[in-house]
Amino acid sequence: MGFPAALDHLVYAVPDLAEGTTGFEELTGVRPVPGGRHPVGSANTLVALTRDGARAPRYLEVIGPDPERADPGPVRVFGLSSLDRPHLATFAVGVTDLPGAVKRARAAGHDPGDAEPWSRATPDGGRLRWSLAKKESGQYPDPVPFLIDWGATPQPGLGDLPTLELVSVRAEHPDPEEAGRSLSALGVELDLVEGPEPLLEAVLHGPKGEVVLR
Protein backbone atom coordinates (compact mmCIF):
# COMPACT_ATOMS: atom_id res chain seq x y z
CA MET A 1 0.00 0.00 0.00
CA GLY A 2 1.17 3.53 -0.77
CA PHE A 3 -0.23 6.67 -2.30
CA PRO A 4 -0.21 8.44 -5.68
CA ALA A 5 3.26 9.58 -6.65
CA ALA A 6 1.98 12.98 -7.76
CA LEU A 7 -0.05 13.58 -4.58
CA ASP A 8 0.07 17.29 -3.75
CA HIS A 9 -2.26 17.47 -0.76
CA LEU A 10 -5.10 15.78 1.07
CA VAL A 11 -8.32 17.69 1.76
CA TYR A 12 -9.86 17.08 5.20
CA ALA A 13 -13.18 18.94 5.16
CA VAL A 14 -14.77 20.05 8.44
CA PRO A 15 -18.01 21.92 9.24
CA ASP A 16 -16.21 24.19 11.75
CA LEU A 17 -12.55 25.06 11.21
CA ALA A 18 -11.60 25.68 14.86
CA GLU A 19 -13.30 22.52 16.09
CA GLY A 20 -11.99 20.51 13.15
CA THR A 21 -8.41 21.64 13.74
CA THR A 22 -8.65 20.77 17.44
CA GLY A 23 -10.19 17.40 16.63
CA PHE A 24 -7.37 16.65 14.19
CA GLU A 25 -4.82 17.52 16.88
CA GLU A 26 -6.55 15.25 19.40
CA LEU A 27 -6.48 12.38 16.90
CA THR A 28 -2.90 12.74 15.66
CA GLY A 29 -1.03 14.70 18.34
CA VAL A 30 -0.09 17.40 15.81
CA ARG A 31 -1.90 20.72 15.50
CA PRO A 32 -2.19 22.16 11.97
CA VAL A 33 -1.20 25.82 11.68
CA PRO A 34 -3.25 28.55 9.95
CA GLY A 35 -2.80 28.53 6.18
CA GLY A 36 -5.08 31.31 5.02
CA ARG A 37 -8.45 32.41 3.70
CA HIS A 38 -9.91 31.78 0.25
CA PRO A 39 -12.11 34.24 -1.68
CA VAL A 40 -14.74 31.50 -2.04
CA GLY A 41 -15.45 31.68 1.72
CA SER A 42 -13.29 28.87 3.07
CA ALA A 43 -10.16 28.88 5.21
CA ASN A 44 -7.64 26.22 6.13
CA THR A 45 -5.00 24.99 8.53
CA LEU A 46 -2.03 22.93 7.34
CA VAL A 47 0.34 20.13 8.27
CA ALA A 48 3.18 18.83 6.08
CA LEU A 49 3.27 15.15 5.14
CA THR A 50 6.62 13.36 5.17
CA ARG A 51 7.63 10.00 3.71
CA ASP A 52 10.23 7.89 5.53
CA GLY A 53 11.10 10.97 7.55
CA ALA A 54 11.93 13.11 4.51
CA ARG A 55 10.18 16.35 3.61
CA ALA A 56 8.48 16.52 0.21
CA PRO A 57 6.08 18.91 -1.57
CA ARG A 58 3.10 17.28 0.09
CA TYR A 59 0.68 18.38 2.83
CA LEU A 60 -2.78 18.02 4.35
CA GLU A 61 -5.25 20.87 4.67
CA VAL A 62 -8.04 21.01 7.20
CA ILE A 63 -10.60 23.16 5.37
CA GLY A 64 -13.86 24.64 6.59
CA PRO A 65 -15.99 27.77 6.31
CA ASP A 66 -13.97 30.90 7.03
CA PRO A 67 -15.15 32.12 10.46
CA GLU A 68 -14.21 35.69 9.46
CA ARG A 69 -15.96 35.79 6.08
CA ALA A 70 -18.17 38.79 5.39
CA ASP A 71 -20.82 36.69 3.63
CA PRO A 72 -22.37 34.21 6.11
CA GLY A 73 -23.97 32.21 3.28
CA PRO A 74 -23.11 28.61 2.35
CA VAL A 75 -19.58 27.78 1.21
CA ARG A 76 -19.93 25.75 -1.97
CA VAL A 77 -16.61 23.93 -2.18
CA PHE A 78 -15.82 20.37 -1.06
CA GLY A 79 -19.41 19.92 0.09
CA LEU A 80 -18.94 22.34 3.00
CA SER A 81 -22.42 23.80 2.60
CA SER A 82 -24.04 20.54 3.72
CA LEU A 83 -21.26 18.90 5.74
CA ASP A 84 -22.28 17.66 9.19
CA ARG A 85 -19.08 15.87 10.25
CA PRO A 86 -15.37 15.97 9.38
CA HIS A 87 -14.14 13.62 6.68
CA LEU A 88 -11.35 13.14 4.18
CA ALA A 89 -13.07 14.65 1.15
CA THR A 90 -10.62 14.28 -1.75
CA PHE A 91 -7.06 15.06 -2.77
CA ALA A 92 -5.07 17.04 -5.31
CA VAL A 93 -2.32 15.93 -7.65
CA GLY A 94 0.36 18.32 -8.79
CA VAL A 95 1.12 19.14 -12.43
CA THR A 96 3.48 21.60 -14.09
CA ASP A 97 1.45 22.27 -17.24
CA LEU A 98 -2.17 22.56 -16.14
CA PRO A 99 -3.72 23.39 -19.55
CA GLY A 100 -1.84 20.47 -21.06
CA ALA A 101 -2.90 18.12 -18.26
CA VAL A 102 -6.55 19.15 -18.72
CA LYS A 103 -6.31 18.55 -22.45
CA ARG A 104 -4.77 15.09 -21.98
CA ALA A 105 -7.37 14.08 -19.40
CA ARG A 106 -10.24 15.15 -21.66
CA ALA A 107 -8.75 13.24 -24.57
CA ALA A 108 -8.64 10.16 -22.32
CA GLY A 109 -12.31 10.51 -21.35
CA HIS A 110 -12.30 12.52 -18.11
CA ASP A 111 -13.08 16.23 -17.78
CA PRO A 112 -11.31 17.65 -14.70
CA GLY A 113 -12.71 21.14 -15.24
CA ASP A 114 -11.23 24.28 -16.69
CA ALA A 115 -7.88 25.66 -15.56
CA GLU A 116 -8.55 28.64 -13.30
CA PRO A 117 -6.43 30.99 -11.17
CA TRP A 118 -6.91 30.71 -7.39
CA SER A 119 -5.40 32.43 -4.36
CA ARG A 120 -5.58 32.73 -0.61
CA ALA A 121 -4.62 35.45 1.84
CA THR A 122 -1.97 34.24 4.30
CA PRO A 123 -1.88 35.07 8.03
CA ASP A 124 1.13 37.38 7.50
CA GLY A 125 -0.81 39.55 5.05
CA GLY A 126 0.63 38.02 1.89
CA ARG A 127 -1.14 36.13 -0.86
CA LEU A 128 -0.41 32.74 -2.41
CA ARG A 129 -1.44 32.19 -6.03
CA TRP A 130 -1.83 28.99 -8.02
CA SER A 131 -3.97 27.43 -10.73
CA LEU A 132 -6.25 24.45 -10.50
CA ALA A 133 -8.74 22.41 -12.48
CA LYS A 134 -11.55 21.33 -10.20
CA LYS A 135 -15.18 20.42 -10.80
CA GLU A 136 -17.34 20.19 -7.71
CA SER A 137 -18.21 16.57 -7.08
CA GLY A 138 -21.81 15.50 -6.74
CA GLN A 139 -20.81 13.44 -3.73
CA TYR A 140 -17.97 13.56 -1.24
CA PRO A 141 -15.77 11.77 -0.38
CA ASP A 142 -14.54 11.67 -3.98
CA PRO A 143 -11.59 9.39 -4.78
CA VAL A 144 -10.99 11.19 -8.10
CA PRO A 145 -8.60 14.09 -7.46
CA PHE A 146 -8.43 17.59 -8.86
CA LEU A 147 -5.34 19.09 -10.52
CA ILE A 148 -3.16 21.87 -9.12
CA ASP A 149 -0.24 23.82 -10.56
CA TRP A 150 1.68 26.06 -8.14
CA GLY A 151 3.67 27.78 -10.88
CA ALA A 152 6.26 30.07 -9.29
CA THR A 153 4.65 29.83 -5.83
CA PRO A 154 6.55 27.65 -3.31
CA GLN A 155 4.50 24.54 -2.53
CA PRO A 156 3.27 24.83 1.10
CA GLY A 157 4.39 21.31 2.04
CA LEU A 158 8.02 22.48 1.94
CA GLY A 159 7.32 25.45 4.21
CA ASP A 160 7.59 25.87 7.96
CA LEU A 161 4.81 23.46 8.98
CA PRO A 162 4.39 20.79 11.65
CA THR A 163 4.74 17.30 10.18
CA LEU A 164 3.11 13.90 10.12
CA GLU A 165 4.24 10.78 8.29
CA LEU A 166 1.98 9.72 5.42
CA VAL A 167 1.86 5.93 5.29
CA SER A 168 -0.82 5.21 2.70
CA VAL A 169 -3.96 6.38 0.93
CA ARG A 170 -6.74 4.08 -0.26
CA ALA A 171 -10.30 4.46 -1.56
CA GLU A 172 -13.58 2.63 -2.02
CA HIS A 173 -16.31 3.31 -4.57
CA PRO A 174 -19.60 1.64 -5.57
CA ASP A 175 -18.38 1.64 -9.19
CA PRO A 176 -14.60 1.21 -9.03
CA GLU A 177 -14.38 0.64 -12.79
CA GLU A 178 -15.88 4.06 -13.54
CA ALA A 179 -13.77 5.81 -10.92
CA GLY A 180 -10.75 3.85 -12.11
CA ARG A 181 -11.21 5.14 -15.66
CA SER A 182 -11.15 8.72 -14.40
CA LEU A 183 -8.04 8.01 -12.34
CA SER A 184 -6.37 6.43 -15.35
CA ALA A 185 -7.21 9.46 -17.52
CA LEU A 186 -5.43 11.62 -14.95
CA GLY A 187 -2.46 9.26 -14.78
CA VAL A 188 -3.11 8.55 -11.10
CA GLU A 189 -2.57 5.18 -9.45
CA LEU A 190 -4.64 4.66 -6.30
CA ASP A 191 -5.52 1.61 -4.21
CA LEU A 192 -9.23 1.44 -5.11
CA VAL A 193 -11.74 -1.31 -4.33
CA GLU A 194 -15.51 -1.72 -4.42
CA GLY A 195 -17.46 -0.47 -1.42
CA PRO A 196 -21.05 0.49 -0.59
CA GLU A 197 -20.28 4.23 -0.61
CA PRO A 198 -17.40 6.45 -1.72
CA LEU A 199 -14.62 6.43 0.86
CA LEU A 200 -11.16 7.96 1.03
CA GLU A 201 -8.81 6.82 3.78
CA ALA A 202 -5.31 7.90 4.79
CA VAL A 203 -3.03 6.26 7.31
CA LEU A 204 -0.83 8.73 9.17
CA HIS A 205 1.89 8.25 11.77
CA GLY A 206 2.81 10.78 14.42
CA PRO A 207 3.14 11.37 18.17
CA LYS A 208 0.07 9.23 18.89
CA GLY A 209 1.24 6.40 16.68
CA GLU A 210 -0.56 5.21 13.57
CA VAL A 211 -4.00 6.72 12.98
CA VAL A 212 -6.59 6.28 10.26
CA LEU A 213 -8.20 9.39 8.80
CA ARG A 214 -11.37 8.98 6.77
Nearest to 133 by CA among 149, 154, 150: 149
- The boundaries of the domain holding residue 100 are 7-213
β-pairing, 191-194 with 59-65? unpaired
Residues 6 or more apart whose Cβ sits within 8 Å of residue 18: 67
Q: Is residue 146 part of a domain?
A: yes
Q: What is the pLDDT of residue 1?
A: 65
Q: Is residue 2 part of a domain?
A: no
The CATH number linked to 202 is: 3.10.180.10
CB 173 within 8 A of CB 195: yes
Return left, alpha or beta for 9; rule: phi > 0 is left, psi -120 to 50 is alpha, else beta. beta
Q: Is residue 69 part of a domain?
A: yes
Burial class (CB in 10 A: 0-12, 13-18, 19+), 72: exposed
Q: Is residue 134 part of a domain?
A: yes
Nearest to 182 by CA among 94, 111, 113, 133: 111
Q: Is residue 136 part of a domain?
A: yes
CB 166 within 8 A of CB 3: yes
Q: What is the pLDDT of residue 42?
A: 95
Nearest to 19 by CA among 69, 73, 84, 91: 84
Q: Is residue 79 part of a domain?
A: yes
CB 147 within 8 A of CB 102: yes
Q: What is the pLDDT of residue 16?
A: 96
Domain count, the chain: 1
Q: What is the pLDDT of residue 74?
A: 86
Q: Report d(CA 163, CA 7) in Å as an integer.
A: 16
Read off the amino acid at residue 85: R
Spans of the chain below 70 pLDDT = 1
Residues 6 or more apart whose Cβ sits within 8 Å of residue 169: 2, 3, 4, 7, 10, 91, 190, 191, 200, 201, 202, 203
Q: What is the pLDDT of residue 15?
A: 96
Q: Is residue 176 part of a domain?
A: yes
Q: Is residue 1 part of a domain?
A: no
Q: What is the pLDDT of residue 70?
A: 80
Q: Report d(CA 24, CA 45) in Å as an integer.
A: 10
